[in-house]
Amino acid sequence: MFPGFKTFRLMGLWLSCLVFHSSVLATSEQEVIEFLNEAEVKIREMSEEGARLAWIAANFITYDTQFVQAKHDARTTLMAVQLAKQAAAYDDVKANADTRRKLDTLKQAIRLPAPDDAALAAELSTITTGMKARYGKGKYCPPNKGSDGCLDLVQMNNIIANSRDEQELRDVWQGWREVSPPMKANYARQVEITNQGANELGFTDLGSMWRSGYDMSPADFAADMDAQWNRVKPLYEALHCHVRAGLADHYGTDIVDPKGKIPAHLLGNMWAQQWSNIYDLVKPASSQEGPKVDITRLIEDRNMSELDMVHTAENFFVSLGLPKLPETFWERSLFLQPQDRDVVCHASAWNLDSKDDLRIKMCIQRNEEDFTTIHHELGHNYYQRAYNQQPVYFQGSANDGFHEALGDTISLSVTPNYLVKIGMLEKLPEASDEVAQLLKLALNKVAFLPFGLLVDKWRWQVFSGELTPQEYNQGWWALREQYQGIKAPVAREAHHFDPGAKYHIPGNTPYMRYFLAHIQQFQFHEALCKTVGYEGPLHECTIYGNKEAGERLDAMMKMGRSRPWQEAMEALTGQPALDAGAILAYFAPLKAWLDEQNQGRQCGW
Q: What is the pLDDT of residues 57-71, one digit of tens each?
A: 888 878 788 778 777
The verdict on whether 380 is a catalytic residue reads: yes
Q: Is 586 a catalytic residue?
A: no
The per-type count for the chain, helices as H runs and strands as E runs, is: 23, 6
**For residue 445, how many other CB atoms are within 10 A of its CB?**
20
For residues 507-532, average pLDDT = 94
* Best CA proximity match to 454, nearest among 505, 512, 507: 512
C-alpha distances out from residue 457 to 128, 171, 604, Å: 21, 28, 21
Among 481, 504, 548, 551, the one annotated catalytic: 504
pLDDT digits (tens, 9 = 90+) for 323-337: 999 999 999 999 998
For 451, the domain range is 138-185+220-292+444-509
CA atoms within 13 A on the CB side of 580: 19
203 is a domain residue: no
Determine contact, residues 413/526, Cβ cutoff 8 Å.
Answer: no
Catalytic residue among 346, 369, 494, 495: 346
Burial 414-433 (b: 16+ CB within 10 A, else e): bbbbbbeeeebbeeebeeeb
CB atoms closer than 10 angstroms to residue 599: 6
Q: What is the pTM of this model?
A: 0.89
**279, 383, 514, 534: which is the annotated catalytic residue?**
514
Of 20-24, 26-30, 510-514, where does the model show the most confidence? 510-514
Q: Which residue in 347, 398, 501, 527 is the catalytic one? A: 347
Cβ neighbour number for residue 193 with a 10 Å cutoff:
21
- Asked if residue 473 belongs to a domain, the reply is yes
Q: What is the pLDDT of residues 456-466, one digit of tens each?
A: 999 999 999 99
- Does the structure show a pLDDT above 50 at 21? no
Q: Is 265 a catalytic residue?
A: no
Tell which phi-psi region holds residue 163, choosing left (phi > 0), alpha (psi between -120 and 50) or beta.
Answer: beta
pLDDT in tens, 106-117: 888 778 888 888
Examine residue 199 and state whether it is found in any structural domain, yes or no: no
Indicate whether 41 belongs to any domain: no
- The top-scoring range by mean pLDDT among 20-29, 53-62, 345-354, 546-555 is 546-555
Q: Is the pLDDT of residue 186 over 70?
A: yes
* Residue 376 known to be catalytic: yes
pLDDT at 562 over 60: yes
**Best CA proximity match to 32, nearest among 76, 109, 89, 110:** 89
pLDDT of residue 432: 55
Among the residue ranges 240-244, 271-275, 285-289, 525-529, the one predicted with the least confidence is 285-289
Dist CA 471 CA 478 (whole Å) = 10
Task: Tell me the mean pLDDT in the region 205-225.
Answer: 95
- CA 531/CA 542 separation, integer angstroms: 11
Q: Is the pLDDT of residue 290 over 70?
A: no
Q: In the annotation, is 525 catalytic?
A: no
pLDDT higher than 60, residue 509: yes
Q: Is residue 133 part of a domain?
A: no
42 domain-assigned = no
For 313-405, strand residue ranges (E) read 348-351, 358-361
Least confident segment among 143-152, 188-197, 589-598 = 143-152
Q: How many CB atoms lie within 10 A of CB 167?
A: 9
CB 566 within 8 A of CB 396: no
Query: What is the distance between the terminal CA atoms of the chain, rounded to a whole angstrom?
Result: 32
- CA 333, distance to chain mean position in Å, is 22
> pLDDT band at residue 77, thresholds of 50, 70 and 90?
low
Of 104-113, 165-174, 183-192, 497-506, which gets the smallest average pLDDT? 104-113
Which percentage of the chain shows pLDDT scores above 90? 65
Q: Which of 404, 436, 472, 582 is catalytic?
A: 404
Query: How many whole angstroms separate alpha carbon 109 and alpha carbon 79?
Result: 11
| Candidates 48, 314, 377, 434; catalytic one | 377
Is residue 271 one of the residues assigned to a domain? yes
Alpha helix (H) residue ranges in 274-359: 279-282, 295-301, 306-319, 327-332
pLDDT at 169: 97
Name the band, by pLDDT with cuts 50, 70 and 90, for residue 224.
very high
Distance (Å, whole) CA 594 – CA 282? 11
Could you say which of 21, 72, 240, 376 is catalytic?
A: 376
For 467-503, letters b (16+ CB in 10 Å) and e give beeeebbebbbebbbebbbbbbbeebeeebbbbbbbe
Contact between 9 and 111 under an 8 Å Cβ cutoff? The reply is no
- What's the whole-number average pLDDT of the chain? 89
**Segment 220-232 mean pLDDT:** 97
Concerning whether 250 is annotated as a catalytic residue, the answer is: no
291-313 average pLDDT score = 91
Any domain includes 496: yes
Judge whether residue 366 has pLDDT over 80.
Answer: yes
Instruction: Decide: helix, strand or coil at residue 349.
Output: strand
The predicted pLDDT at position 51 comes to: 86
Domain count, the chain: 1
Q: Catalytic residue, from 380, 496, 518, 539: name it.
A: 380
Q: Tell me the average pLDDT across 128-141.
A: 86
